[in-house]
Structure 1
């Protein structure tokens, strides 16, 4: 049985969300480099000390919508049934469940803003690569703790393929996003990318016909 969050926890969640919303609005209006951390804090009327209770810096708050999805993924991976299905199928199911868990009525807009900022900001890209590496390591820790998996390259490659499919889907979704952007479209693009993986492994490198 899930315990309802306490009043203190709800206040912390509201403060964290207010920082994310304020930061993304400011970054979208003025550019990532055109906004200081002091300005983000002033918008929410909190101190920098309070900000650093939630985020390590501007990159982390700007990436929060996308990173929250992966944190939800790790949570779901801890409890998903280990039912003997192919590992990639299990990972796909867990990611779709995590996406559904975080995707409230405003998440898609925040995630789209975050991804577009990421594409235009080298420091966010570097932060994202570091987060991705840490997340893959955490995924492997959970998988090897919960499942009877071989100690070879395959679990890591499965995780890498999952991330690649997600990135491909996210990029296509961002390029063609409707107004407002649709989480259902993102999920469909991700499923399509996962479905393309087996064919990728057998794709031949034939020369172009003359």
Structure 2
């Protein structure tokens, strides 16, 4: 139990650290700017390299050679090959948790979840929108990466539930599951063309359809 809690806390800390890469603000010190450039180079190269050669068949050393960094430098920035491959996904959910904290908690919780996602998508920069679609394709093509992504998703869902702290934990869990399913449906509709401006509208449509879908009759 203690190990699981430590791992969960470490993962959420990593979420916060990657969030800075989604904004245009420059870190205050030269050392921080250099670290940000290294993280970005690793993330960009990982998506390109794994997309060309396949995630499962590409060793970590191939990425390190491309970016010209040591293993020590890599592990100061990322925990694993899976971690760097999922940078765009973790950026999204890190930003989402921050947006959720800033969203007014009034009215239907489904609307609160949607408002936080729309605020998150508005915050993401062009670099993220460029890297996110190939990241999703990497996940779809790699069982190992898919498993890592699912584990991360469960961690985030637990954190969302903790932040909302609804009166009925079972119903809250179901609502979050439905919201995540609606998000994935929106991504499925978005992926063929991947136009950044279309994703918020697709998320709105998907969440609206979620409500009517629950009322479907046989």
TM-score under structure 1 length normalisation: 0.86
Give distance in 2, aligned partners of 1:26 and 1:171: 23
Bigger radius of gyration among the two: 1
Do residues 9 (structure 1) and 32 (structure 2) align?
A: yes
Q: Could you tell me how far 1:164 is from its partner in structure 2? A: 0.6
Given candidates 197, 202, 207, the residue that maps to 1:189 is 202
TM-score under structure 2 length normalisation: 0.83
Q: Is contact 2:103–2:115 with CA below 8 Å preserved after alignment?
A: no
Do residues 107 (structure 1) and 128 (structure 2) align?
A: yes
Q: Could you tell me how far 1:69 is from its partner in structure 2? A: 0.4
How many residues align structurally?
193
Aligned to 1:208: none
Q: Give runs of aligned pairs for residues 111-150 of structure 1, distance below 5 A.
A: 111-144=132-165, 149-150=166-167
The secondary structure found in structure 2 opposite 1:33 is: coil
Give distance in 2, aligned partners of 1:93 and 1:13: 29
Give distance in 1, aligned partners of 2:32 and 2:97: 21
Contiguous gaps of at least 5 residues in structure 1 = 206-210
Aligned to 1:47: 70
Give distance in 1, aligned partners of 2:77 and 2:201: 32
Q: Deviations over 1:68-106 (max 9, x none)?
A: 101100111122222x2210101101011112212x223
Do residues 64 (structure 1) and 77 (structure 2) align?
A: no
Contiguous gaps of at least 5 residues in structure 2 = 1-24
Q: Could you tell me how far 1:12 is from its partner in structure 2? A: 1.9
Between stretches 6-15 and 93-102, larger displacement belongs to: 6-15
Structure 1 residue ranges, 4+ long, deviating more than 4 angstroms after superposition: none
Q: Deviations over 1:38-57 (max 9, x none)?
A: 11112222111221222222
Q: Deviations over 1:156-206 (max 9, x none)?
A: 1121111111111112211x21xxx3111122211110010111111012x
Given candidates 154, 170, 173, the residue that maps to 2:187 is 170
Q: Is contact 2:99–2:116 with CA below 8 Å preserved after alignment?
A: yes
Aligned to 2:44: 21
RMSD: 1.6
Q: Could you tell me how far 1:64 is from its partner in structure 2? A: 1.2
Q: Could you tell me how far 1:63 is from its partner in structure 2? A: 1.4
